[in-house]
Amino acid sequence: MMKKIKGCLNESCEAHIKKRKFKESETFCSKCGSPLSHVCKDCFMKSPEDNDKYCVRCHANHEDRKDKDKKVAAGVISVALAVGGVMFKYGKKAFDVVKNFKG
């Protein structure tokens, strides 16, 4: 589990605009004095306490991206296995044809 990130929620504060991260022990923004809160690592909006570093929307986006990456990886692996199977089955014949063609 990754650490939660603390930030200033005051949208007009320089620390919020620059997405400055504060230490867990800090309770108030050093720029504007507003109370600090746990914020989303991606969008810097207040994140719920039960999530580690992302708001609900960004957490869902990360999960969707993981699912898509898994599907792409599975497709690549199945194509590689299919090509490997064809090469295994016809590899020697193809090699002999190329060898005879050169000579």
Range of the domain at 102: 55-103
- Count of H helices and E strands in the chain? 2, 2
Examine the domain organization and report whether 84 and 102 are in the same domain: yes
Higher pLDDT, 48 or 36: 36
Examine the domain organization and report whether 9 and 45 are in the same domain: yes
Q: 25 by DSSP, 3-state: which?
A: coil
37-47 per-position pLDDT tens digit: 999 888 888 88
62-101 per-position pLDDT tens digit: 898 888 877 777 777 776 676 666 666 666 666 666 666 6
Examine the domain organization and report whether 40 and 68 are in the same domain: no
- Residue 87: HSE in the Cβ half-sphere, 13 Å Cα cutoff: 6
Examine the domain organization and report whether 28 and 71 are in the same domain: no
pLDDT of residue 68: 82
Examine the domain organization and report whether 30 and 73 are in the same domain: no
pLDDT of residue 66: 84
Examine the domain organization and report whether 45 and 62 are in the same domain: no
Examine the domain organization and report whether 45 and 67 are in the same domain: no
